Amino acid sequence: MKVEWGTQDTHAWDAAHAQAAGALQQDWAYGSTMLVSGGTVIRAVIQAEGQTVGLAQCVVRRFGHLGGVALCTRGPLWLQALSGKDKAHAYRRLRQTMPVKGLRFLFVTPDEPSGDNLGLSSIKRVMTGYSTALLDLTPAMPDLRAGLEKRFRQPLGRAEKSDLTVHRVGTNVGQYRWLMDAEQQQRDNRGLQGMPLHFVDAYIASRKQPGHNVLTLRADIGRDRVAGMMFLLHGQAATYQIGWTNDAGRDAYAHNLLLYKGMEALKERGIRSLDMGGINTGRSAGIARFKITSGAQVVTLAGTFWV
């Protein structure tokens, strides 16, 4: 197993990441955004017998000359099926070769559930995994609609018969700023936390064609905005990032319609998988129910491990 740090081959990384429908945190543009935001990012290509079998993008926090801590979130991105033994070897090589002076600590949060092929010891798990909802977008739209639970499909039908109209929002900051402002207000009112909104702005602008990074939809009743939904795109996968609605939109089931139209639009762009985000059935039971009834499958990831 060979590990090479410092790759500059953006094209090859993007192609491999897209083919594997990798997570947002392993997308090259995500790392570029972290760099612009003042972070330190290191990237590794993992090879076996001359073939690239994995990618690892890590965010590093340095402690002067003492060393640093690297976190590989939702990674490494495995490009081939590997045994637990091979993954364990790759993890050791990542830690041993990590380009950080002084003491080096590597933590990984694999984008997979616990299992025999994880390649990591449960003894070194420092944080339990969180649950997310993943929606497979490869079936045809009629099949996706058939996969909606009744609790989602019936409100969707009502929304389709209502006065709601859905529009795609442009990628210029001024065109979607209202949704960011509404999201911030929503977070303040509910005491919610999430990815910093300035990071979202920077991620959208990280490629020459921002349309490759974001899809934003707006629902109107007449001339009034009543709901909005934003998806961040990364290769052939996407992440549900922001959802907002007011009372009128809620009464008209605008989010059901926006998500369904979003599924159509994402499929048109070649997106194969939609990460609906974390599931919290305690504090956010309504949001969790909305995600689960969309046909998404709940996956509990293995957790965070000290390598």
pLDDT along the chain (307 residues), means of 10: 96 97 97 92 96 97 89 98 97 96 94 96 95 97 98 98 98 95 93 88 93 97 98 98 97 98 98 94 84 96 97
Specify the CATH number of the domain 2-120: 3.40.630.30
What's the pLDDT score for residue 90?
Answer: 98
What's the pLDDT score for residue 254?
Answer: 98
What's the pLDDT score for residue 38?
Answer: 87
Entry pTM: 0.95
Do 133-300 and 2-120 have the same topology in CATH?
yes
User: b/e for 173-194, b at 16 or more Cβ within 10 A?
Assistant: eeebeebbebbeeeeeeeeeee
Residue 87: phi, psi to the nearest 5? Answer: -65, -40
What's the pLDDT score for residue 193?
Answer: 81
Of 153, 146, 242, residue with least CA distance to 197 = 242
What's the pLDDT score for residue 165?
Answer: 98
Which residue ranges make up each domain of the chain? 2-120, 133-300
Q: Which secondary structure element, helix H or strand E, spans residue 5, and what is its range?
A: strand 2-5
Q: Domain 133-300 sits in which CATH superfamily?
A: Gcn5-related N-acetyltransferase (GNAT) (3.40.630.30)
DSSP 293: T
